[in-house]
A = this chain, B = another copy of it.
Amino acid sequence: MWQLYQFPLCPFSRKLRLLMGEKNIAYELVRENPWEGRDEFWHLNPAGRTPVLHDAGRGTALSDSQAICEYLEETVERNPMINGSALQRAEIRRLVALFDDNFYADVTEPALHEKMKKRIVLRQSPDAQVLRQMGRLLHGHLDYIDWLVDTRQWLAGAQLSLADLTCAAHLSVVEYLGAIDWKGHEQTQGWYMVMKSRPSFRPLLSEKMEGIPPPREYASLDL
């Protein structure tokens, strides 16, 4: 069975878990705090990042969340999430990168640093100025996601895809950290509630990061 090295608030691991949930692929969780820089973990992934998908029996260790998603798409046909024509697949991958690179750098990463890492690793208070700037950038990203929701059935087109899973993974981390303000973004909020109610999302909603309780609305499926 696959072992997934991750920590509960890693957005890239969440993206992968949502994909494995949609494709009904079994795995067990292995807790890994990449900031501890364990030698054994660096041996599995020299990039030092979660997730790593490890099959000790077959001696296979896959890393980089997008490389793993592409691997699972190629090897497990059920419920394809990078699907359609080459142009549609390019659009899915463009949005995945937009969330994993831009949204992460602007929003998820500062939220994790200020509200998780400073709390449980550095023992510092969050920087209000950084959080305000993050909020402004989040607002801009939500405007763009609102536009996608308004003009398409799902974020990348007519079908649920890895773009939806990736965006929902990042938003779920930011929501867990109490850093989302949905005001003016009812379209995206509605789409996100639909994503949250999928069975693939359930294991994420019940999981806690120690020392950081989520806000009450996090596990709720009501608007």
Q: Are A90 and B67 in contact (CB under 8 A)?
A: yes
How many residues of chain A are within 8 Å of chain B by beta carbon? 25
Q: State how many copies of this chain the complex holds.
A: 2
A182-203 Cβ-contact flags toward B at 8 Å (1 or 0): 0000000000000000000000
**A93: which of B66, B90, B97, B102 is its contact (CB, 8 Å)?**
B66
Closest 10 CB pairs of A and B: A67-B93, A64-B97, A71-B90, A74-B86, A67-B94, A64-B94, A75-B86, A67-B90, A47-B102, A47-B98
Q: Which residues of A contact B (CB under 8 A)?
A: 46-47, 60, 62-64, 66-68, 70-71, 74-75, 86-87, 89-90, 93-94, 96-98, 101-102, 144
Selected A-B contacts with CB under 8 Å, 22 pairs: A46-B98, A47-B94, A47-B97, A47-B101, A47-B102, A62-B90, A62-B94, A64-B93, A64-B94, A64-B98, A64-B101, A66-B93, A66-B97, A67-B94, A67-B96, A67-B97, A70-B90, A71-B87, A71-B89, A71-B93, A74-B89, A75-B86
